[in-house]
Structure 1
């Protein structure tokens, strides 16, 4: 038999649930240590040496400076989420702002991947000129995963998020897993101020 106090507690709980489902809870900016949403304050990209798909050497922060950028984690031997991520960047590329935006796929498997493998992986998706791929040194993979909050459980070791950087090479946004291409393009336009 239900008593009046237990009925009132149940109604109160149901009211809270209804308010949450109806959007009663306001979305707030995610602090820099959050896993998705805006990064407040934006965090400067790591000074991380990379090797690009043409064999060129460059630093992550320098490559990101001056353009808004979308970065994803992947590896060419992945058969689960990485092909979907390649298709995502292929879909984002034609939606990029006319100038000043770039896409960068970063391998988390520098022992298994090579510049030629990265180039072939991108080519499978009709690589757009604004989309490049690179790999860090073995000793820098964990630091990269920790900075992006891109570490995941399981064999793939990485999330399927996209990490957005402003023109000052600062991490400004972490998307949800497998974001729609239009959402990534809209965030890049927003970061570019267009």
Structure 2
């Protein structure tokens, strides 16, 4: 999946992205809400090497780059379902310097459009720590609805954390056409 928006390019992670990926994912403000944080640039590079083409039941990461400079500003993970028609899950990370500029919304809008309007996905969902209020607000602006709040359901970085699930159906996306 390679997507282009007005300001962004979503494409494969490359080995030379390892330093920027490490810097983003190891930043405490980002790592706090992510299940994976690399311990080194070498670990980030090894992770990049594992990224293959999208396959059912597996997560794949895509780079979020500024379109003009191709600078890596974050990454987007997608997990395609094992069974066609089941829900597609996603997660997104942006470097703190690039948060608050609408990049995450623009990237997700492109993914939702591709998934719903081109690939025929039925449902997209995301799991978020409710302390990440900016992410929850973002998901709501995309037309996603909170479906569940699981209390202390995940062990993450040495503590039990809550997990909130947001989702949107294809028919809701097509009716709302956000952005």
By relative contact order (CA 8 Å, sep 6+), the higher-ranking structure is 1
Q: Which protein is bigger by CA-based radius of gyration?
A: 1
What is the TM-score of this pair, normalised by structure 2? 0.29
What is the TM-score of this pair, normalised by structure 1? 0.27
